[in-house]
A and B are shown apart, each in its own frame.
Chain A
Amino acid sequence: MRYVAGFFRFWWDFIVGDDWRIAAGVVLVLVIGGLLVADGDLSHALVAALTGLGLMVVAMASIVSAALRARR
């Protein structure tokens, strides 16, 4: 059990790193994008553009807010 936990902790640290908010924001935006695709009301090009912009805004907001918190 200890080895399994260690295995997953290693990959979590490797991919997500020490700020999980960025990963959570990315996954949230992609889930919304997936729901929009499944819904089918918007064109795929529009969903692609909106999701791309959403990813950038969420990721940069997470980075900047984490840095500002660290400075306080």
Chain B
Amino acid sequence: MTGHAVGVIAATLLASGVEFVEALTIVLAMGTTRGWRSTWFGVGAALVALAAITAVAGYALERWLPEALLQLVVGTLLLIFGLQWLRKAILRAAGLKALHDEDETYREEVAAAAAAGDERRLGLDWFAFVVSFKGVFLEGLEIVFIVITFGVNGGSIPLAVIGAALGGLVVLGAGLALHRPLARVPENTIKFAVGLLLSTFGTFWSVEGLGWFGPGESSLHWPGGDAAILVLFALWATLAWAAVRLLSVRPREREAA
């Protein structure tokens, strides 16, 4: 298995897993408070919308853009998007941003569901439908973005979809078995890893895509070829670790705050 393939599966599986944890919290809150029928309709509608976006955007990008330009555009978007994940993960690891608390989110969603009115449309509890649709769609959109960028640039949409589906199945399986939010998942550690992977592949592809500015409009080649991915990952990880060390709030400062 090549470095690309490992990266594609790891990034999509981890990203999908961590986003599904957040979607599962919302779906569980709606299902247990408002009933499962409308909640499942919301989840199903969101999954259909996400599948349609993946198919249309993936097909359009692959068909219409030359390879180097595709690498430049998609790699740049992936890098900027990945740096968002990495920035938040660094701030959380340094104690400068609150950690995500699934139990707290679940309590808030349950309270909102209990207080909401009883509007019915198309025979569905509209609140449960809309909230579960939005929860799955918005969390899923991040997975779709990662699947498309990794799949199209790595030439491996099936691998990216398999990785994302595996991540989703693991989380949904655990959620159905426990029937409660997955509060013990090390979300920030996983987001840190995903941020590093997105930044690594975003750097690799966006720089390869710079070849589009050259006379032949063909991709640049990194020194060492695909092995450069490992070097980039190591460098991003080292820089992120140094940033956490530099920014970490000392216990005395935390007490003062």
List A residues at the B interface (Cβ < 8 Å).
14-17, 19, 22-23, 26-27, 30, 33-35, 37-38, 40, 44-45, 47-49, 51-52, 55-56, 59-60, 63-64, 66-68, 70-71
Alpha-carbon distance A31/B24, docked complex (angstroms)? 41
Given contacts A47-B220, A67-B94, contact A17 B246 (CB under 8 A): no
Alpha-carbon distance A35/B81, docked complex (angstroms)? 24
Given contacts A27-B76, A48-B207, contact A67 B213 (CB under 8 A): no
Give 1 or 0 for each of B74-100: 1 = CB within 8 Å of chain A CB: 001101110110110011001010000
Q: Are B86 and A63 in contact (CB under 8 A)?
A: yes
Pick the contact of B210: A33, A63, A64, A71 (CB < 8 A).
A33
Is B232 at the interface (CB under 8 A from chain A)? Answer: yes
Alpha-carbon distance A39/B222, docked complex (angstroms)? 18
Alpha-carbon distance A33/B222, docked complex (angstroms)? 13
The segment out of B109-117, B128-136, B161-169, B235-243 that lies at the interface is: B235-243
Given contacts A37-B213, A56-B203, contact A66 B235 (CB under 8 A): no
Alpha-carbon distance A51/B242, docked complex (angstroms)? 21
List B residues at the A interface (Cβ < 8 Å).
72, 76-77, 79-81, 83-84, 86-87, 90-91, 94, 96, 141, 145, 199, 203-204, 206-208, 210-215, 220-223, 228, 232, 235-236, 239-240, 242-243, 246-247, 249
Pick the contact of A30: B76, B90, B91, B236 (CB < 8 A).
B76
Q: Are B83 and A34 in contact (CB under 8 A)?
A: no
- By secondary structure, the A interface counts as helix
Pick the contact of B79: A26, A33, A40, A64 (CB < 8 A).
A26
Given contacts A33-B207, A52-B203, contact A64 B246 (CB under 8 A): yes
Q: Are A26 and B80 in contact (CB under 8 A)?
A: yes
Q: Using Cβ atoms and an 8 Å threshold, which residues of chain B touch A70?
A: 96
